[in-house]
Amino acid sequence: MASEVHSDRSDAEIIAASLDHPTEFGIIFARHHARVYTYAARRIGIGEAGDVASEVFLKAFRLRYRYDHTRPNSLPWLFGIAQNTIGDGLRSIRRRQRVYLYFHRDVSAPGTELADDRLVAEAVTDRLNAELGKLSKGDRDALLLFALEGLTYSEIGVTLGIPTGTVGSRISRARRKIGQAIPDLEQIAARMHNPDEVDDA
Amino acid sequence: MPEKQDRLDRLLRKLAGSPVPSRSDRERAETQLMELIEGEPNIRRSRVRRPLIAWTAAALIAALTLIVVFYPGSTSPAAAAIREIADLAEQVDPLEATDESFVYTRSETQVLGVIPREGLGGVPYDAEYLVYEAHMIRESWLGNYDTVQVSVMVLQPSFFSDEDAEAYYAAGIDGQDRVGETITSTVHQPDDRTWPTDPNDLDAAIRDDMITDRGLPEPVEYLLVALDIVRESHASPELRAATLRLIGDLDGLNLENIDPDGISTISIDYEEQTISKTLTFSIDTSGYLRFEEVVRIDEDTTFRIPAGSAESLSTWDEPRTTTNLNTQG
């Protein structure tokens, strides 16, 4: 579908080209489908992430003629579409569950230190979900886009359609509220294995 | 503000992991996309916009006034006005996009921004937080594929003191806020498709969407969700009317004014974390939200916000159709 995944052409150039040559859009899919899937899985679970990721690229293709071509990287734009797609899904499917962060660590071996670690992780995830649910949607989305997806403040601003400075204040406020609600966060994190090591998506 | 991950961020990421799509997930998505790409010439479809019913303002005001005066005694003036608007809004043919035109909405917003001192990059500043009023103009164009182009023009902020302004600019927050820029994106989708119009179902859906554990009174939380539905021009007349009727059932609403154009202004007083506030909103006779403001009645000593300051304030122009996708400013 996309032999130019690693070419020097920016996403903006490819999307522009896809206006006349629609199959070019396949390169955008090849470049970013995995990241969009990961983002969706982290937010709504792997059960629906496949459908959401697919829907994001269908919407993106329909919307491509309005893409802001001053932005070389289309990922924040795709995350923005995913954000809304997930919102629709959350409203219609998971309205009552209020789950904002899905536990995906592969630490399931029973009877091992990792199994204990998993129990701690599940408990922490439950507590974090409860506190994430108390945040405003804007604060929560900003925090998770920064913490989980590694977007810059500027990219989050594009994704959420807000000023960059507001992104910073939202993240700061979200951290403060969760820190106040879970005062033993430091100790919990310390119990997790290598909490400072982060695997890139 | 430094973009540095802290321990909470790293913990969140550790817990969430990095799930990857299966081969079948990827192949299915790729197939669906290719089918869409190959069928693109047939995607575009025409819609015939029905003409708007020409209501006269005078007749509407008269109707509103009559209803407010003669509604049964147990109904508050605010409830009566809202319900009458709901009846009128239900009969208005919706603005609809065509292949050549868009439903255009323009709003002006000011909102309080907060920067912790540590976010000022070492710029000397005495207080713990720098609070300022951000100003922006937001325009949206609803297209006929249920897509929306949004442009946000970030205007110069205003400040409560010269010291705040100096620190803001010295720290380069104006650059982070993208002051002076117009940011255009197409990420916002109208969500009225997911809201039911049956009153009981809609009431349940709104309640499901409410945040219930942050200390705000229930009618305010309900109102915040309901106003989201009627905030711009995307809701159908039926959904708009159903939402307004539910708003009319809320306790604590006060009718402030009905202006010569028939726009009704409603308010509700409440308390949030010991700060008294008033939420005021205005609805026009087509059921569109035209004004919304949250005013902090009390002084906020933590953030040094003077009494009577607007936490947020937005005004919306009357929605209309346009063929022009350029920003109007």
Q: What is the pLDDT of residues A97-136, one digit of tens each?
A: 444 555 544 333 333 344 455 556 667 777 887 888 788 8
Is A121 in Cβ contact with B15 (below 8 Å)? Answer: yes
Determine the distance in angstroms separating the CA of A63 from the nearest CA of chain B, rounded to an integer: 7
- Tell me which chain B residues have a C-beta less than 8 angstroms from the C-beta of A178: 8
Residues 6+ away with beta carbon under 8 Å from B27: none
The pLDDT of residue B60 is above 60:
no
**A191, pLDDT greater than 80:** no
With a cut of 90, say whether residue A163 has pLDDT above it: no
pTM of the model: 0.53
Instruction: Check CB contact under 8 Å for A95 and B209.
Output: yes
Interface of A with B in 93-132 (CB under 8 A): 95-96, 101-106, 121, 124-125, 128
pLDDT of the residue at A93: 38
Pairing type for strands B148-159 and B289-296 reads unpaired
Identify all chain A residues contacting B144, using CB atoms and an 8 Å cutoff: none
CA–CA gap between residue B148 and residue A161 (Å, rounded) = 12
Read off the pLDDT of residues B153-167 as tens digits, 9 standing for 90 and up: 889 999 999 999 999
From A4-8, A144-148, A189-193, the region with the lowest mean pLDDT: A189-193
Instruction: Name the least confident of A110-114, A152-156, B134-138.
Output: A110-114
Residue B53 confidence (pLDDT) above 60: no
* pLDDT in the model for residue B186: 63
Q: Alpha-carbon distance A4 to A73, whole Å?
A: 15
Contacts of B145 in chain A (CB under 8 A): 62-63
pLDDT tier for residue B73 given thresholds of 50, 70 and 90: very low
pLDDT of residue A122: 66
The secondary structure of chain B in percent helix, strand, coil, rounded to multiples of 5, reads: 35, 30, 35
B6 contacts chain A (CB < 8 A): yes
B145-155 as b/e: b if 16+ CB within 10 A: eebbbbbbbbe
* Chain B from 187 to 216: CB within 8 A of any A CB: 187-189, 191, 193-194, 205, 208-209, 211, 213-214
Q: What is the pLDDT of residues A173-183, one digit of tens each?
A: 888 888 888 88
Residue B210 has pLDDT above 50, yes or no: yes
Sign of CA dihedral A127, A130, A133, A134: negative
Size of interface A-B (CB pairs under 8 A): 240
CA distance to partner chain B, nearest, from residue A162 (Å): 8
Q: What is the pLDDT confidence band of residue B213, given thresholds at 50, 70 and 90?
A: low
